[in-house]
Amino acid sequence: MQALARFFTYVFPMVVVVSVQKFHAVYVSTPTYDLFPTAFFYWGLVYGGILALAAYGMGLPDVQVERGKALGIALAVSVAAAGIMSVVQLLAGSALIGRFVIFGSAMVAVPVQVGASALANSGRSRAENRDRVVLIGRAAEATQLADDITLAPERASKLVAHIAAREASATATSQPLAEAVDEHRATVVVLDRTAIENASIIDQAALLHVKGIRVRTLQEFYEEWLGKLPISELERESLFFDISEVHYVPYARTKRLVDLTCALVGVVPLAAAVPFVLLGNLLANRGPLVFRQDRVGINGTTFQILKFRTMSVPASATKDGAGEWTRADDPRITPFGKFMRITHIDELPQVINILKGELSMVGPRPEQPRYVVQLNDKLPFYDMRHLVRPGLTGWAQVKYGYAGDERDALEKLQYEFFYLRRQSLMFDLRIMFRTIRSTLGGEGKGR
């Protein structure tokens, strides 16, 4: 259901636009014209892409809302897409596609997107408890998993039972794993390290696997269902991490090319934003336009990150980062600064850091040196995140957001280690698209 809903939301708009174009070419336009192959046709595909991107940015079809609210979101998507295309045509100085096509396609797309949202939600309601999990292992792992399973999972699941490894061994009269699976209608059995070391548990799990029950180690479950690594595996993972994979040359070169391309494109909105931010500062936030602060980059080197200033001048005065952790609702952030953070305008100067090679588009967000020292003292494996170039956005940002204290930093580290293990160009693009969604949806992620 989810795949079908996404098809209707992200692919079908192009079919809608081309169909409306064809109708306009044959039945509305005087004189009629041939649509294929002309610039009108290709600009129609671009407009279909804008509709799809606007839908993605506003959360369709995944956002869980009532049908009335879904209608409002779909209307907002169509208005936004029509507005963007109108501005593009205004800047181009010519009609790239007709107004009939722009507004006709936008209106046809509304019921399609509402239907896709309903389809996604119906599929989700049936799948809400689809993955019912039995954990075999330590009580501490069960408590942690019960908490983690509710935090932005990649796949819906529910912990329905926990059995200590010492109580899960089979006897002549009982098969504890099979009994737990039957009693709780479980679909996934998760084994922590204490369970994996028990031969009786492995034998029982093998029999369940043959019957179609999915069996995963704790780390595998975290990676597949939650998109991160479990806390208990971080130190072990840091010891067995294959550093050569991080510096795989073809990937590194392609990633750098993507960084440079995106940064060069980003110079345009940066230049356009400077007068706007300058005016906002003069009216509501007097002080320096740009804020510079030391951050720790690749291999532990220090560089100065650039941002438009969002805090009051006394709070932003020191570039060495003296002060407390930044919070999402930090009282030091000015009203205009809050607007810039929500829209991510404050991050635009970092395209200069990307051009200089200090930042990448995607990677762990760089922290202040003093915080790195603190976290290295408490988390001996924390420094592993500096094997790669830090990023403008990252997997931890789209999944978790702000790190307001050391506990949050540990939570984000679970996502960052997952990124280090799985990094690829496709994963980077996935993170960038998710960042676009959070930005267009007004979610102020990152720090």
Q: Do 261 and 208 lie in a common domain?
A: no
Domain identity same for 259 and 172: no
**276 and 392 together in one domain:** yes
From first to last of its 447 residues, what are the pLDDT tens digits of the chain? 678 888 888 899 999 999 999 999 999 988 888 888 788 899 999 999 999 988 887 778 877 667 778 888 888 888 888 888 888 888 888 888 888 999 999 889 999 989 988 888 776 555 554 799 999 999 999 999 999 998 878 888 999 999 999 999 998 889 999 999 999 999 999 999 999 999 999 999 999 999 999 999 999 999 999 999 998 887 777 666 665 556 678 888 999 999 999 999 899 899 999 999 999 888 887 889 999 999 999 999 999 999 999 988 765 555 544 556 666 667 788 888 888 988 889 999 999 999 999 999 999 999 999 999 999 888 778 888 998 999 999 999 989 877 778 888 889 999 999 999 888 888 998 898 888 777 765 554 444
Are 191 and 264 in the same domain? no
DSSP β-ladder status, 188-191 and 131-136: parallel
Domain holding 165, by residue range, is 131-226
Let me know whether 387 and 349 are in one domain.
yes
The answer to whether residue 234 is domain-embedded is no
Q: Within a domain: residue 299? A: yes
Cα 262 from Cα 425, distance rounded (Å): 14
For residue 444, what pLDDT is reported? 45
Q: Tell me if 301 is assigned to some domain.
A: yes
User: 97, 126, 155: which is the final residue of a domain?
Assistant: 126
On whether residue 445 sits in a domain, the answer given is no
* 388 falls within a domain: yes
> Do residues 258 and 110 share a domain?
no
Euclidean distance between CA atoms 426 and 129, whole angstroms: 29
CATH of the domain at 204: 3.40.50.10700
Amino acid at residue number 320: D
| CA separation for the pair 158, 147 (Å, rounded) | 10
239 in any annotated domain: no
Is the domain of 218 the same as that of 86? Answer: no
Strand segments, DSSP code E, in 121-193 are: 131-136, 157-163, 188-191
Q: Do 206 and 271 belong to one domain?
A: no
Together in a domain, 261 and 316 = yes
Check residue 128 and give its pLDDT: 53
| Shared domain check, 270 and 179 | no
Among 78, 102, 126, identify where a domain stops.
126
Residues 254 and 315 grouped into a single domain: yes
Secondary structure E strands in 105-169: 131-136, 157-163
The answer as to whether 232 is a domain residue is: no
Residue 238 is assigned to a structural domain of this protein: no
Domain count, the chain: 3
Look up the pTM and report it. Answer: 0.76
Write out the two tokens for 44.
Answer: 């129609």
- CA dist 162 and 142 (Å) reads 7
Domain boundary, last residue among 226, 252, 271: 226
Count Cβ atoms within 10 A of the Cβ of residue 308 and give its class: 0-12 exposed, 13-18 middle, 19 or more buried: buried
302: helix, strand or coil: strand
- Do 278 and 220 lie in a common domain? no
